[in-house]
Amino acid sequence: MARIAILDRGDMTAEQGRVYDAAKQSSGIVGGPYCAYIRLPALFEACQNVRAALASGPLSPREQQIVNLAVARHWNARYPWFAQVRRSLAVGIEQPVIDAINAHRDPGLADARERTCWAVARDLLVSKGLSDEAYGAAEKTMGLEALVALVASIGSFSMTCMTANTFGIDPPAANPTPLAT
């Protein structure tokens, strides 16, 4: 059950309404953790801008989704997991890959960049850093710019997951792939 009241559009301040309307028009993403972010319109807008910058960056949609699934699974973030499973299926990530990540197993990714996204996300979240060896391998596979985007994506989506968890933002009851317990 949500710990934070969901603001109706009519109850928002002028600034909240402005950033809400802009987000609704550009990306359509105004739910989930954004229900908390709207309380700070500048934060809501900054999150939208970071999301857009990362989406147009050097990571493919599949790579981005592998990162998001790994992060949501790490944080046991139910709403982000729900939203990212849906998006992952839409970009062609197979259900067995999603199920493996959900079960805390290696998803057995064939693509080297996708494997690197999984490994870097897992290592950063568990170890809070990368060994010199892991960093070197990631930079070699991804390139420096993509590695920067990868690390930023992990951090940004961690904030999303922590927000959803803190404020009790849960997925709908009809969730086809809930987080494993």
Residue 172: closest CA among 32, 22, 21: 32
Query: Each residue of 63-102: pLDDT tens digit?
Result: 999 999 999 999 999 999 999 999 999 999 999 999 999 9
Structure tokens at 103: 């079960």
Q: Is 171 left (phi over 0), alpha (psi -120 to 50) or beta?
A: beta
SS3 call for 116: helix
Query: Each residue of 93-147: pLDDT tens digit?
Result: 999 999 999 999 999 999 999 999 999 999 999 999 999 999 999 999 999 999 9
Q: Kindly give the residue spans of alpha helices, DSSP state H, lying in the chain.
A: 14-26, 34-37, 41-55, 61-74, 78-90, 95-102, 112-127, 132-142, 144-166
Which domains can be identified in the chain, with CATH numbers? Answer: 9-55 (no CATH), 61-158 (1.20.1290.10)
